[in-house]
Amino acid sequence: MISVDQIFNNQYYKRSNWIYLLIPISIFFYFFSSLKKYLYRKGFLKIIKIKVPVLIIGNITLGGTGKTPLALDLIEKFLRKGFKPALISRGYRGRASNITEVFELSDVSNVGDEALFIKAKSKIPVFIGKDRAGAAQVLLKKYPKTSIIISDDGLQHHRLARDYEIIVVDSQRQFGNGLIFPAGPLRESISKLKQVDAVVYKGESSNSNFYQMRYITKHFKNLLTNKEAIFKGIQDKKIVAITAIGNPESFFSTLEGYDLEFKKVTYNDHYLFTKNDFIKYADYNIVMTEKDAIKCKKFVTKNFWALPLETKVDERLFRNILKKVT
């Protein structure tokens, strides 16, 4: 099964010729986004400055690059240093139309998978809203002791003033055909890399000015019992790897690295799973990412397994952030 997202991503990263027909639309998109940035920069559109530092974690490409694991890593480091961090997010694919606080028991269809996953993992205050500045203001009103706000995504939302900007890049896919959406995967020009405070590469980078982030996986975790199993420990049944993330191949390649044989099933990024999606795999061990697993809590059975990630980030990044925000 190939998702619509994956079909387009394949064109962006395989440099298909027909995609160039969309360049006129890309020119319009680039002009519009550049005009909006200009209006904010010149003061024609108001920028909201809040009373605590704001750290933006974003990307310049469509799809997943690793923003959420990086956000969780930085949250943990801020907590260890005695900060009181909080997080804002768009709540992508969630139904909530107003600024909404996310709780561990929130409905994923209302608040979106990323925000709910971060709340479940970090336990810090999390608010969602299309208006990031408004979400930050509402958050601070309820949690006035917050000492730093992290925005998961939001690089292109200029209404909220920021103190530190990070771009996350997938070292395997990088920038595809180098074109602006919809002819390519870019949200804005690659020149943005030179304008932010830090660039984090998920994977290897030969540029010493960039910070590296990598994932470590040690075991599977059963979603019903919390039992841990080594990678070969779930081969008593056929395995199906099911995912609805922006870059499914990164998940599949991780599994392939452990010599597992499995069936691949992909859905559109942020797709909300239902119980019916898994009926045909009752005789399989079902493997998924932790972020996908958060959407399956209501109907998991003993054959559901997640692959927890341990994120390792260049320690220089956090030291650099502390210098800027303290």
User: How many residues would you count in the chain?
Assistant: 326
Q: Give the per-residue pLDDT at 98.
A: 95
**Residue ranges per domain, the chain?**
4-35+45-213+313-325, 218-308
- All residues at 6 or more sequence positions from 263 whose CB lies less than 8 Å from its CB, including other chains: 238, 239, 240, 241, 284
Task: Please report the pLDDT score of residue 302 as a whole number.
Answer: 95
User: What does the pLDDT read at residue 158?
Assistant: 94
Please tell me the distance from the alpha carbon of residue 174 to that of residue 240, in angstroms, as a whole number: 28
| Spatial separation of the C-alpha atoms in residues 176 and 14, rounded to whole Å | 7
- Cβ neighbours of residue 303 under 8 Å, at least 6 residues apart? 237, 281, 282, 284, 285, 286
Q: How far, in Å, are 93, 121, 177, 270, 282 from residue 295 at the CA level?
A: 12, 14, 32, 9, 18
Ramachandran angles phi, psi of 113, nearest 5°: -75, -40
* pLDDT score for 6: 60
Q: Under a CB-based contact definition with an 8 Å cutoff, are residues 86 and 139 in contact?
A: yes
- Would you state the pLDDT for residue 115? 95
Measured CA to CA, the distance from residue 326 to residue 85 in angstroms comes to: 13
Q: Give the pLDDT score at 220.
A: 94
User: In angstroms, rounded to a whole number, what is the distance separating the alpha carbons of residues 248 and 254?
Assistant: 10
Query: 3-state DSSP: the chain helix, strand, coil percent, rounded to 5?
Result: 35, 20, 45
| pTM value surpassing 0.85 | yes
Q: Amino acid identity of 307?
A: L
How many Å apart are CA 185 and CA 174, to the nearest integer?
10
What is the per-residue pLDDT for 262?
Answer: 95
The tens-digit pLDDT sequence of the chain (326 residues) is 555 556 566 677 776 778 888 999 999 999 999 999 999 999 999 999 999 999 999 999 988 889 999 999 999 999 999 999 999 999 888 889 999 999 999 999 999 999 999 999 999 999 999 999 999 999 999 999 999 999 998 899 999 999 999 999 998 889 989 999 999 999 999 999 999 999 999 988 778 889 999 999 989 999 999 999 988 789 889 999 999 998 888 899 999 988 889 999 999 888 999 999 999 999 999 999 999 999 999 999 999 999 999 999 999 999 999 999 98
Burial status of residue 182 (CB atoms within 10 A of its CB: 0-12, 13-18, 19 or more): middle
Residue 218: how many other CB atoms lie within 10 Å: 12
Q: What CATH number was assigned to the domain covering residues 4-35+45-213+313-325?
A: 3.40.50.300
Q: Which two tokens stand for residue 196?
A: 């932010």
Q: Which token pair is 61?
A: 């490409």
Per-residue pLDDT at 8? 61
89 with 114: CB under 8 angstroms? yes
The pLDDT, as a whole number, for residue 146 is: 98
The tokens describing 176, both together, are 């595809």
pLDDT of residue 5: 57
Kindly report the backbone phi and psi dihedral angles of residue 165, in degrees, each rounded to the nearest multiple of 5, phi listed first. Answer: -120, 135
Structure tokens at 36: 């909006």
Q: What pLDDT score does 306 carry? A: 96
Helix (H) or strand (E) holding 98, with range, is: none
Do 12 and 184 form a contact (C-beta atoms < 8 A)?
yes
What's residue 231's pLDDT? Answer: 81
